[in-house]
Structure 1
Amino acid sequence: MPDHDVVIVAARRTPIATRSRAFASLRTEELAGPVIRCALADAEAATGSTLPIADVILGNCMGPGGNPARIAALAAGLGIGVPGATIDRQCGSGLAAVIDAARAIGAGDERPRIAGGVESASTAPARSLDGTSYPRAPFAPAGWPDPDMVEAAENLAQAEGITRERQDAHARRSHERARQAQDTGRFAAEIVVINETTSDDAIGVGERVLDRARPLFPSGTVTAATSTRVSDGAAAVILVPAQVRGTAPGLVIRAHAIVGCNPALPGIGAAPAVQTAFASGCAKIGDVAAFEIVEAFAAQSLAVLGQLGIEDDDPRVSADGGALALGHPWGASGAVALVRLFSRLVRAGAPAGTLGVAAASVGGGLGVAMLVEVVR
């Protein structure tokens, strides 16, 4: 069975909290378990059947190890017979996990699966070597470029000629859109309440914040105000073969792609991934009604949009705000993008045939993208 017959019939996420704030004490399974339970309940209600889950696949970047997907499956009450697998494609992990689940169903194992991502930056263990701690593992071997993500964003801004003014405007739009979405309740149906936390952690960047923020590098353009926050959160979707969907509305996975790019400029990876998915899915930019491209930095987002030929302020892109406003729980962010597409397209009543794209750029020089289509 080809991947285009795999359907996402439910999608949920936690609020997204800045590291060491609302979810400071919560482990990965305490974030992912409730999301898995709620998403599965949604899917079973939508399909009118009990779904025998074959596997739980979650993206996770920073630990704690011990196969967080399996631990989350047990915490969610799925039973001892449901296995789990945890994958690491850094910021694309959550979306890559969904691709892995879709491939398994598309290859002929037609049992439903749960996929997504989780990150608890607050409880992630410190890494050390010979007693010396270090902030992250290398994304490339010795002799290859391996810039810090902030440095990589600045390098991309310089390479693409992206000014601070454009970055400030992009960050402002993201926050304004997210604030409006939150105030009008557009996040409510996708959110799973965790510890009575019901809203996204910090939305709203003022003109003074943008104006006063200093560049993070001498003569640079990237600032803290145009960079996302390190965050905690989880997201999950339920995937079923088309014949299990029944009359439930959902998102058919029409195409997907995981590609490599220059590790010196990793922030551009989403662009070739989207282009590859378009080639596979026989689509083009003008066909797509909704884009959710993970915003790690304003400079990185603008570079990707430029490569794709999309205007800075295109209303189709992160229409309810992106990671600059909501936060960036690394291993979950790609799955959060899919949950957002599900809300914008399925929950909002977009007609059958409407297309959406979720994508992420990844440290080390990767890009992940998925093209989906509404079914009703």
Structure 2
Amino acid sequence: MPSAVIVNAKRTPIGKINGMFKNLTADELAAPIIRELALGVPHVNEIILGNIVGPGGNVARVAALKAGLPLSITGLTIDRQCSAGLEAIRVASCFIQAGAGTCYIAGGVESTSTSLFPNRARFAPEEIGDPDMGVAAEHVAQKYDISRKKQDDYTLQSYEKSWNAFQQGIYMNEIVPIKGKSDDEVFFKPRKMEALLKRSLPLFSDNNGTVTAANSCAINDGASSVLLMEESFAIANGYRPVLRFVDSAVAGVHPNYPGISPVPTITQLLERNQLTIQDIDLIEINEAFASKIVACSEALDIPSDKLNVRGGALTLGHPYGASGAILVTRLFYEVQRMDNPKYCIAAVGSGGGIGVALLFEVVKHDED
């Protein structure tokens, strides 16, 4: 079976809703990333993007044309809620494994600022349960006994990791500047996070609620994609593979508890590939809510020094359709800073109770 490898990965800076990218549409955010990844590539089969809140239509095709790619390069747009960007990478990897193509640009984009939709789409039928994601995060906290203190402690740690990464220039290689902006908008002004966590009130439950604005992600604009190639094609064309796609898993849980869905997906990956959590060097799980991350890390027994090591969406923000691809982009650069890593995982839990997880092997080279 052909092997799918990632040879490059990029993202935009992440903007706040109605912030620095408030006038940029989804295709305008995605196009510079596509253009950057496609530069000098001899052949691209297709652009595959996740997108959730509009504008509707085939955003991937529009973005490919906006990027100036040849008319022959088509586009496919995917909606699997917050895991859409990760699903796009999964689909492209499977296409390569199946022999359908040799090169894809895959990821996601979200422009919440320019979305035409005033309300979210349904996640599930009302008779089953269709809570907003914040309410669902509170459900997870209550069911899995994730206290306010645990959530706030994790959020503060994530915030400190993110700021340390920014101050060290860790994010620089990930980012393609857009309209003169090269930093995530959250870093324009430091926050007194410890005080903010203490004074924030519960948002979704009056009775012993634990989920607050401070231990939840923001709503954001941004785009991210990776360049995937069939391994022999990549090597023949002078590219250096970094991550090799090994396997993927998708699992459904009750729509009232979508935040726990990374647990069965990661468990499937480990069991199917005869691995344990100790065999995984890095794990990125989207930080939509601290309750979700703490619940997943406790259920899977993930060591803190392997999980979201440079922070995540709790600080940087969550541009829905792009977030899964941002996780993979983070892994792409982080493994190159490590000493002899072998495996890494990216996972997202989505509205409606769907989890998606991808397992990658770090490609070894003779000079390593």
1:97 counterpart letter in structure 2? A
How many Å apart are 1:110 and its aligned residue?
3.4
Match of 1:149 in 2: 133
Match of 1:136 in 2: 120
- Residues 8-87 of structure 1 aligned to structure 2 (within 5 Å): 8-41=6-39, 44=40, 50-87=41-78
Match of 1:190 in 2: 174
1:242 aligns to 2:226 (yes or no): no
2:7 counterpart letter in structure 1? V
Match of 1:361 in 2: 349
Measured against aligned partners, the alpha-carbon deviations of 1:201-251 in whole angstroms (never above 9, x if no partner) come to 114542111111111121201110000000000000011111012161310
How many Å apart are 1:141 and its aligned residue?
1.8
1:209 aligns to 2:201 (yes or no): no
d(CA) in 2 for partners of 1:160, 1:304: 10
Contact kept, 8 Å, 1:255 with 1:278, in 2: the verdict is: no
Structure 1 consecutive aligned stretches of length 4 or more whose deviation exceeds 6 Å: none
RMSD: 1.3
Contact kept, 8 Å, 2:61 with 2:74, in 1: the verdict is: yes
- Residues 209-358 of structure 1 aligned to structure 2 (within 5 Å): 209-216=196-203, 217-218=205-206, 219-246=208-235, 248-311=240-303, 314-346=304-336, 348=337, 350-351=339-340, 354-358=342-346
Contact kept, 8 Å, 2:102 with 2:233, in 1: the verdict is: no
How many Å apart are 1:40 and its aligned residue?
2.6
1:367 counterpart letter in structure 2? G
Contact kept, 8 Å, 2:54 with 2:117, in 1: the verdict is: no
d(CA) in 1 for partners of 2:282, 2:126: 39
d(CA) in 1 for partners of 2:42, 2:253: 38
Match of 1:110 in 2: 101
Superposition TM-score, scaled by structure 1 size: 0.92
How many Å apart are 1:350 and its aligned residue?
4.5
d(CA) in 2 for partners of 1:358, 1:162: 22
Measured against aligned partners, the alpha-carbon deviations of 1:314-372 in whole angstroms (never above 9, x if no partner) come to 111111111101100000100000000001013x2543x62111000001000000111
How many Å apart are 1:279 and its aligned residue?
2.5
Match of 1:174 in 2: 158
d(CA) in 2 for partners of 1:315, 1:250: 21
d(CA) in 2 for partners of 1:91, 1:51: 32
User: What SS does structure 1 have at the residue aligned with 2:115?
Assistant: coil
Match of 1:130 in 2: none
1:323 counterpart letter in structure 2? A
1:310 counterpart letter in structure 2? I
d(CA) in 1 for partners of 2:82, 2:171: 22
Match of 2:359 in 1: 371
2:359 counterpart letter in structure 1? L
d(CA) in 1 for partners of 2:180, 2:280: 36
Q: Which runs of 5+ in 2 are unaligned?
A: none
Aligned residue-pair number: 356
User: What SS does structure 2 have at the residue aligned with 1:26?
Assistant: coil
Superposition TM-score, scaled by structure 2 size: 0.94
d(CA) in 2 for partners of 1:280, 1:112: 27
The percentage of counterpart residues that share the same residue type is 42
